[in-house]
Amino acid sequence: MKTIFEKNKNLNSKPFFCGEIEFNNRITPLNLPNTTELEVMRHYKELSDRNFCIEKGFYPLGSCTMKYNPRVNEVVARYEDFLNLHPMQNDLDCQGALELMYDLEQALKIITGMDAITLQPCAGAHGEFCAMNIVKKYFENDKKRKKVIIPDNAHGTNPMSAKMNGFECVEIKSDEQGGVDFDELKNLIKNNGDEIAAIMMTNPNTLGLFDENILKISELLHQNGSLLYYDGANLNAIMGHTNPRLMGFDIVHLNLHKTFSTPHGGGGPGAGPVGVTKELEKFLPIPRVEFSGERYFRNYQKPYTIGKVSTFCGNFSVFVRAYAYILSMGNNLKNASTDAVLAANYIKEKLKKYFKLPYNRSCMHEFVLSGDIQKEKGVSTLMMAKRLMDSNCHPPTVYFPLIVHEAMMIEPCESETKEVLDNFIQTMIDIANEAEKDPQKFEQYPLSTPVLKADETLAARHLNTKYEFNN
C-alpha cells in the first residue's frame, strides 16, 4: 500500500504552501501531500480496514480486557452538551458534568468498597503513580519506610510507579499455587518490617489466579503498619462478587478503559481512578468534586492533598462512557464477571490436554498456558501467535507474565458467544496438532495479514516511521 506522500499527484512540483501565514521558525514551506479529499478518505479507510479490532474477530489479549463496549455508551459520550464543555467553565455552568463525576465516584465507591474516589488520573499507570504518591505522603514522617513489596508476576507498571515515587522495590516469589509465597512474606516482614511501606498486589493476579491467602496477607501487613495497594486493572473478574476493601486493601486504582466501556489500547484516552479508605482521603488530588446540598463544585481547599495529577479533572468522555455503562448494567455487572470467569475456565479446561497448564486450578477472568510442549518441536509461542492471526483471531498476550516460560495469556471476556469460544478452542487444538506433525510449516506464518512475516529484530532495532522525501 502506498503512503499518503506517495499518493501525491505532484511529487516533483512545488510543495503545498500553507497560505499567507508566516511561520517564525520555518524557512521552507510545509511538505504536505497534494491529493484530493476523496483520495485521503480512501487512504485512511483502507488503513483502518487493515486494522484488527473486536468488531472483526475474537480478541483474547490477556490482561487487556478487550470486551465489547456497547455502542450506546459511545453515543452518549458524543452528546453535544458534553462535547462542547470547557474545563475552565465556571462550576455553575457545568452542574450536569460535575453531577455525573460525583455520581460516578459514588458508584465506584460501591463497586470497590472504598470511602473516597478521585477520577483524575488518565491511565492505569497514572493511577498507580498517584496511589503510590499518596502512600509516600502517608509515610512522610516515617523516613525508614522506603520499601515496597511487589510479587514477581506483577504488571511492569507496578515497580515503575513505586520507583518513580522514590521507593525501593522488593520482589516476592509466587508459590506453586501462583499466589504470593506467604512464608517468604512472613520472613520479609519479620526481618525488614519497619522498612516496608506497602505491598502492591493484583488479585486476581496476572496469572488469572485469585490469591486465597489475601486476608492473611492484609492482616500481616496491617499489623506491621504497612499499607496495601490494589492494582484494580483486573476488576472485570470480581465485580459484585467481592471488592478490594473486603480483601483488606487501603488504596486501589481501576482501569475504566478496560472494565467500564472504553476500548483499551491504541493510545486513546483512558482513566485510572484511585479509591482510598477514610484515613487516606485527605491526600487525594485536587480538585475534589463535592456537593454542597444545593450545587456541585470543585474544591481546591485541601491542605493535605498531594496536589494535582492532571491539568483538569481527567478524561471526561471516559467518565461518561463508564457512567452510562454502570447505569445500564446495574446488578448485571456481577453477571459480567461471572461470565468472564466462566468463559476463561471453559477454554482452559478444553485446552489443557493440548498445552502445558502451569497452574492447574480454577482461574478467574484469564489464564496462562505455556508453549513448552510445542517449543520442544521447534514451534515457539510467537510462531503459534502468528499462526492464530491467519484464523481471524488476535493472538493472546505472549511472553507475559515473565515467570511462565513461553507464556500465552488468554482473556476471552464475557461478551463472546459459546460458538466463538468453541472456534477458538478448535483453532488452538489444530495449532497444537500441526505443531506436533508439521512444525516446519510455522516458519511461514502469517500468510493472510497485511504485513506478512516481518523481520522483528530489524524492525525493533532500526525502527523507521518517517517518510523520506527525495529532497
**What are the φ/ψ torsions at residue 320 (nearest 5 degrees)?**
-65, -45
State the minimum distance, in angstroms, from the CB of residue 123 to ligand PLP: 4
Cβ proximity to ligand PLP, 259 vs 374, nearer residue: 259
| By CB under 6 A, residue 155 contacts ligand PLP | yes
Please say whether the beta carbons of 165 and 197 come within 8 A: no
C-alpha cell at 70: 456497547
C-alpha cell at 72: 450506546
Cβ proximity to ligand PLP, 233 vs 252, nearer residue: 233
SS3 389: helix
State the minimum distance, in angstroms, from the CB of residue 397 to ligand PLP: 9
Cβ proximity to ligand PLP, 63 vs 315, nearer residue: 63
Question: What is the distance between the alpha carbons of residues 279 and 360, in angstroms, rounded to a whole number?
Answer: 39
| By CB under 6 A, residue 255 contacts ligand PLP | yes
Binding residue for ligand PLP, selected from 33, 60, 124, 179, defined by CB under 6 A: 124
**What are the φ/ψ torsions at residue 291 (nearest 5 degrees)?**
-125, 125
| By CB under 6 A, residue 64 contacts ligand PLP | yes
State the minimum distance, in angstroms, from the CB of residue 432 to ligand PLP: 27
SS3 156: coil
Binding residue for ligand PLP, selected from 123, 209, 214, 309, defined by CB under 6 A: 123
| By CB under 6 A, residue 237 contacts ligand PLP | no
Please say whether the beta carbons of 274 and 134 come within 8 A: yes
State the minimum distance, in angstroms, from the CB of residue 423 to ligand PLP: 25
Q: DSSP secondary structure string, 437-465?
A: H-GGGGGS--SSSSS-S--HHHHHHT---
State the minimum distance, in angstroms, from the CB of residue 159 to ligand PLP: 11
The alpha carbon of 467 is separated from its chain's Cα centroid by a whole number of angstroms, namely 31
Binding residue for ligand PLP, selected from 8, 63, 226, 391, defined by CB under 6 A: 63
Per-residue binding letters, 23-62, with ligand PLP (x by CB under 6 A)? ----------------------------------------
Binding residue for ligand PLP, selected from 66, 134, 188, 233, defined by CB under 6 A: 233
Q: With DSSP H G I counted as helix, E B as strand and the rest as coil, what are the percentages for the chain, rounded to 5?
A: 40, 10, 50
| By CB under 6 A, residue 125 contacts ligand PLP | yes
Which of positions 159-188 make contact with ligand PLP (CB under 6 A)?
A: none
| By CB under 6 A, residue 231 contacts ligand PLP | yes
Q: Which stretch binds ligand PLP (CB under 6 A): 21-29, 33-41, 119-127, 446-454?
A: 119-127
Per residue, the 3-state secondary structure of 294-335, as one string, reads: CCEEEECCCCCCCCCCCCCCCCHHHHHHHHHHHHHHCCHHHH
| By CB under 6 A, residue 202 contacts ligand PLP | yes
Question: What is the distance between the alpha carbons of residues 332 and 336, in angstroms, rounded to a whole number?
Answer: 6
Kindly state the number of chain residues that form the binding site for ligand PLP, as judged by CB under 6 A.
15
DSSP 466: S
Positions that interact with ligand PLP (CB under 6 A): 63-64, 123-125, 155, 157, 202, 206, 231, 233-234, 255, 270, 272
